[in-house]
Structure 1
Amino acid sequence: MKDPLKPRDKITQKMTRDGAIAENQTTGDTERISNRIRDADLQKTPEQQAAQDAMQLPPVSDTSPLPHVPGAAPKADTGKTERVMKHIDAAHTRKASKKAVRKAQAEATAGTKSSRLQFTDEERAAPELEKYIKKSDKAADRLDKAKAAIPKEKKLVKERTFDETTGKGKTRLHFEEKDKPPGFKEKHNPLSRPTQEAGILVHNKIHSVEKDNSGVEGAHKSEEAAERGLKYGARKIKQGYRNHKLKPYREAAKAEKAAFRANMDFQYHKTLHENPQLTSNPISRFWQKQKIKRQYAKEARNTAKGIKGAAERTRKAAAKAAEKTKQTAAFVARHPAGVAIAVGVLLLFIMVMSGLSSCGAMFSGTLNGVLGTSYTSEDSDLVEVENSYAGLENELQSRIDNIERDNPGYDEYRYDLANIGHNPHELASYLTAKYQSYTCAEVQSELQRIFNQQYKLTLTEEVEIRYREEERTDTWTDEDGNEHTDTYTVQVPYEYYILNVKLTNTPLSTIAENNLTPEQLEMYRVYLQTSGNKPLIFGGGSPDTSASEDLSGVDFVNGTRPGNTAIVDLAKRQVGNVGGYPYWSWYGFNSRVEWCACFVSWCYGQMGLSEPRFAACQSQGIPWFTSHGQWGARGYENIAPGDAIFFDWDLDGSADHVGLVIGRDESRVYTVEGNSGDACKIKSYPLDYACIKGYGLMNWN
C-alpha cells in the first residue's frame, strides 16, 4: 500500500548575525546555509570558536545517494573534520601574525627612542676611542632615562590587517602608549568676564567719588594694591606649576643635546684615528673638527636612515675633507707670508670686537647676578614676616614658662629643652626660593607649617612608685596583764608624679631640604650665601670695617645707675675674634648667622644670666627690654657699663645692630660690638648720633 501523501514542508530563508539560515516552518528546525566563515568570538579561544563553527556547518550533499538501510549506522563525514582542522590552523596563523606585528611595532618604537651609536669590535678595541665610546654610551643611557620619565598617555590607534587565509581585511582598534605632548589646557571660567566687568564698574564708581573723602581714597588704593598682589601671586603659582610639569621635557631635551655632542665627539676622534695626517697642525685640526660636527649634525637631523647611516656618511665626508685639508696645507706652505698676514688681521679684528662686546656683557652679567641673588620682596614685608615668625617663637617660650602654672599637681617637672631661635636669613631665603615675591599675609599658613616642623613640644606624664618611712606603734598585754608599747619604722609606698617637658628644634636648613624642589633648594642656598644682598636687614651687625678704637686717655663719666665692670672686661677680652663662632654656636645655631645679638646674649650668659637672650635685635631684643620697663631712648644720659645699645643704620625705625656699653664721657659713648665688620671691636659714637635707636638698661641689683 502506498504511503499517504504529505504536504511539502514550508522552508523560509533569512539573514542573521551568523549568516543566512533556512528555517522549516513545519518542524521548526533551522539550518545555516551561508558559506561565509563566521566572525570569531573574542571571548573564545581559536579551538573553541572552530569547534562551534564546525557544529553549525551544513552537511555535505552527495550527488549519488546510497539507499537507506534500516538499522545501519550513518556514514562518517570526513569533509567536516578537514574543515574544522583547516579553520583551527587559520586561527593559529592569525594569532601568530598579530603577535609578529606587535613585536615589530615594539622594535620600531624602541629603535626610534634611542640615539645610541652601534660600535664595532675594532672601534671598541682601539684605546684612543675607548674614552669617547664610554661618553657616548653614558649620554645615551641618560637620554633613554630622561625620555622614560616623560609622562605617557594612551592613544586609540586604528590598525588595518590582512588575513591571507581568508583573503579579507580587518580593522582592529587598540591602545598604544605614547609620550604625552607638553602643553596645558586652560580652563575657561564663564563667570570671569562678567566678574571683571562688574569689578571695573565698581572701581569707576569709587573713582568718581573718592576725591571727596581721603579715607575712601586710601582704602580704595589699598584694595587695588591687594588685587594686584593677588593677581601677581596667582600668575606666579601658575608659572611654577607649569615649570614643574615641563621639567621632564627640559631634562629630555638637555640629555638629547648631550648625547648629540658625545656622538659628534666620537665621530671626530674616530676620523682622527683613521686619518692621522689631520693632526699635523692646530689650525687644520680646528677647521676639520668644525666641518665634521656640522656634517654629522646635518645628517643626524635630516636623514631618515637613523644614526648609523649618519655616522657612515660623516666618515666618508671626513675622508673627503681630509684630502681637501692636505691641499689647503700645501697652499699654506707655498704662501706662508700672505697666510700669516691674513691670520693676524683676523685675530686683531676678533680682539677689538670681543673687547667692545665684553663691556656690555660684563655689565649685563653683573646686573643679572645681583638681581638673581637678591631678595625680591619689599624690605617692609621681609621684616614683617620675620617679626611674625619671632612672635610664634615668643608664644612658644611663654607657653614653656607657664608649664607649671598650666599643669599643676605634679611632684616634679623635668625639662629637656632645645634652644628657641632661628636664622632670619634662612627663613627669608626659604620663602624667596619658594614664592619669590611675597607678603606676610600670603605666607602666613606656610610660616605656621614651618614652625610646626621646626619645634616639637611634648609633655609626658610619668609615675614612679616611691617609699617613705613612717613610724608605727603597737600596744600589747603580757601574761601578767601589763601593757607594753613597741615603736618601729615601716616603708610605705606612694605614687610620685613627674611631668617630662621636651622641646626639639629642627634646623631650617633640614626643613628646606625636605620641602623644596631641587631647583628651589639651589636658589635657597644662593640666597643664603649672599644674604639676599641685604645682610643688615634683620639686624645683621655693622658694615664698619675700620679697626678697633683705643680707649687710652678716655675719662668715663659715672652715672647714678650701677653698672657691671666684669661683663665689660669679659667683652673687651673678645676683641679681635673674627667670624663669631663661639657666640652663634653657643646660642644653638649650626651655621654662621649675623651674630651681634648672639655676642651680647653670650656675654650676659657668662655672667650667669638666663635672660635677656635674643638673636634678633628688633623682633626679640627690644621687645624684652621694653616689656620689662628697662628701655631708654637715644639721648638717655644715665647709661651704665653693661647696658645694651641698639643701632638703626638706615633710619627706617627697625634696629639693625646691638652692642655693649663700656661707658661714656662728656660727648661720646664707647661700646664693645660683635659682628662689626665680622669681628669684635671697640667703637665710639657721639651721644646724639642719629643711628642710635636706644639703650637696653640692665638691672644688676
Structure 2
Amino acid sequence: MSDQQEKQEQQVPQQSTAAAERILEHVDAAHTRHKSKKAARELQEETTLHMKSSRLQFTDEERAAPELAKYIRKSDKAADRLDAAREKIPKQRKLIKERTYDEAAGKGKTRLRFEKQEKPAPNDKQHKNPLSRPVQEAGVFVHNKIHSVEKDNAGVEGAHKAEELGERGARYGARKIRQGYHSRKLKPYRKAAKAEKAAAKANVKVEYRKILRDNPQLTSNPVSHLWQKRQIKKQYAQALRKGGTTGIRATAAKMRKLARKAAEETRKKVMFVARHPVGVVIAIGVLLLFIMIFAGLSSCASIFSGGASTVVGTSYVAEDAEMIGAEQDYAALEANLQNEIDAIEETHLGYDEYRYDLDTIGHDPYVLTSILTALHLDYTRADVQDTLQMLFEKQYILTLTEEVETLYRTETRTGTRTVIDPETGKETTETYEYEVQVPYDERHILHVSLENFDLSHLPVYIMDEETLSLYATYMQTLGNRPDLFPTSSYPNASTIKEPTYYEVPPEALKDATFAAMLTEAKKYIGYPYVWGGSSPATSFDCSGFVSWVINHSGWDVGRLGAQSLYNICTPVTAAQAKPGDLIFFQGTYDVSGVSHVGIYVGDGMMIHCGDPISYANINTNYWQEHFYAYGRLP
C-alpha cells in the first residue's frame, strides 16, 4: 500500500466522524421530538451507523482479483450513495449558550453547544398560530349554539351539517399537507440511514470474501460452510459497529486465525467420523431418542407449569411468621375485649345489677388470613395493623345500656264504701281492705350486649367482586397451607372438606327442567361457602347458589334471599315433593323466618351450599330438626 493511500485511509475515518457528529446533532434533536418507540429505534440505528461506518480502501491487487471485483464494486457504489445522501442533510448551525439546573446536585451549570437542526417530527400537533386556540373555541361555541336550535328548523340543520362536512374536509386536507411537509423534511435523514445500512452490508461482504480468498479450505466442507460463513459475518458485523473500518482492519488478522482454526476443527471432525462411523450412527440415534423424550417431557413440563401456576395463584404469599403474627395480634384484640367484659363490674361501679347478653368471642384464623391476603397479598405484620383494627370494629359490637328499674311493694289499706240494702233500700257505710303496689326504691341495671357479626360475613361488605373472588379462592384451598393453623392449636380453624357426592337416579333426569337445574348446580360442587356470595367468581352462600342455578335454568328471579325464595314458591307436602323443588329450613342461624335453602333431588337428598357445595341427606337429625317446608317454583 502506498503512503498516499495510507494517508487517505487515516483521513477517511476522521472525515466520516466529523460528518457523523454533524448528523448526530440533527438526529438527536429529532429523537427528542419523536415520542414514538418506533421512531426512537430508527433514529438510534441511524446514529450508530453514522458514527461507525465509512468507505473502505482497497489495494490495486485486491481490485484486480476477479473473486473480489464484484464485491469491491458494490462497496464503492454503496459508499458513493452514502456520501451523496449525507450531502443532502442540512448543516446550518450556530453556537448557543445553555443554562441548566441539576436537581440531584443542587446547582446550576452552563455549557456551550451548537444549535440543533431539528428533524421535523411526524404528526407534530403543536400549533404555530397563537390565535388558533381561541378560534377553535369560538367555533365550538358557535356550533353548540346551532345544535341547540337546529332541530327546530330542517333548513338550518341541513346547512349546518353541510358546513360541518366542509370543515372536516378542510381539516383533513390541512392535516395531509402537514404530514406531507414533515415527510419531505425527514426524507434526507431516512435516505442517509438507508445508505448507511447498505454500505455496512457491502463492506462486510468484501471482507468476508477476502478471508475466503486467503483461506480456500473454508469452503472445502459443504456441511460446515454455511455455519462458518455465518460466524465470520457475525464477527465482522460486530467489528464494524464497534470501530468502523479501523476496527475491521485491526481485527482482520484475528479473524483469519479464527477462520483457519475453524477449518482445522472441521477437518478433524470429518476425519473422526470417517474412523468411527458406527459410533457416530449410535450417537445420532441416542440424540434423536433424547429429543423425543425431551419433547414428551416438555409437554409434561407444560402441564406441571400450569398446575404449579394454579398452586401459586391459590396460595398465601406472605411469610409464615407474618401471617401467624397478624393472627396473634387479632387474637390479642379479642383477648382485650374479653378482659374488658370481665372487668365491667369493676370499671362500671354503682349498679345494682349487671345483665349480660353475649355472643361467643372467636374467629376462624383462615378467614382472617384469607381476608388479609386478598386485600394486601404479600403483607407484613406491621402493614395490616389498620386493617386488623377495622375488621375487629366491624366484627364485634359491644353495647352498654343503663336501665333504671323502680321497685314496688304491696301494702294493705282500709277503705269505706256505701252499701244499699236491696230489700229496704236503706244505705249504710262499711269498711273494707284492699292492696296497692307502692314504689319504694330504684334499681340501676347495666345491660352488657356483645354481638359477634362473624368475621366470615365481612368480606361481602368491604371487598369488590375481584377481591371477593380472591378471598373465595383462598378459602377453598386454605391458601394451600392446611398446616398453618392446626385445629389442635386453633379450635376454630377451618379444615379442607371434601364434598359429598351422590348419583341422582336416571329416571329423575327425564324431567328436562330438573336436568337443566342439576347440570348447572353440579358445576360448582366443592365451592366454599362465602356469606353473601352470589356468583362463581365470588363463590356462593345458600340462597346465592340457588338463585344462580334457577336463573341459569329457565327462570329470572334475580338475587333472592332464602325467605324471598320461599315467598315465590308454592308450598307442597313431603309426599308431593319432587326433584327440582326447593327445600327450606329455619333456625340454622340466628335469623327470623327461613334461614337456609337447598334444591331437592329426590330420595331424601338435596344439593345445597353447605361448606362446601355438595349433596346432603335431609333425613339426618340436624336437618329434620330445622326442616321448614318444601316449595315449588312458579
Give the TM-score of the pair, scaled to structure 2: 0.31
Give the structure with the higher percent helix.
2
